[in-house]
Amino acid sequence: MDLAALIRNVPDFPKKGIQFKDITTLLLYPDAFREIVDGWKKRYSDGKITVIVAADARGFVFGGALAYAMGLPIVLARKKGKLPAETIAAEYELEYGTAVMEVHADALKRGDRVLIIDDLLATGGTVKAIAELVRKLDAEVVEAAFVVELPPLGGRAKLAGIPVHTLVEFMVE
């Protein structure tokens, strides 16, 4: 299935010059969503992953579905101030600003083997921050999976040392 054809481009969002790749249009096609989740379930069915950490907010969609399909726990990595209990935090840069990512301080345990999921890899800042949080909790990042990658923005290089798996690439500036 041509997943790229199902992803909408929104020019100048959230600010001028950004070509936003909107996966909400892909989600209108249940077969496409199923293909992604089933494909990842097959990819990660070797037992190496013990926990899925999903990035706020679109990563929740894919991470939640995969965690359900695989019978694994899911940890929500959220933007600052959204989690109700004690958290740990890491600041990161976006292609259009800075932000802070948090997870609950008791979300992972030593030895957990983590798959980080987000919808899109651009500059890599979000997942780099999440990986830092995973490591602070003495867990291991096994891989990071994305539906979309924007290779010209250099996110993969920023995630050096973390295996990266993507399904669709867009060569944007």
Active site residues: 58, 95
Q: Is 121 helix (H, G, I), strand (E, B) or coil?
A: strand
**Residues whose CB falls within 8 Å of the CB of residue 113, separated by 6 or more in sequence, listed in order:** 48, 49, 50, 51, 139, 140, 142
Q: Would the CA dihedral through 41, 46, 51, 56 be positive or negative?
A: negative
Q: Which of 140, 119, 118, 131 is nearest to 158 (CA)?
A: 131
CA distance 155 to 14: 19
Tokens, residue 155: 């996110």
Q: Which of 104, 119, 112, 118 is nearest to 138 (CA)?
A: 112
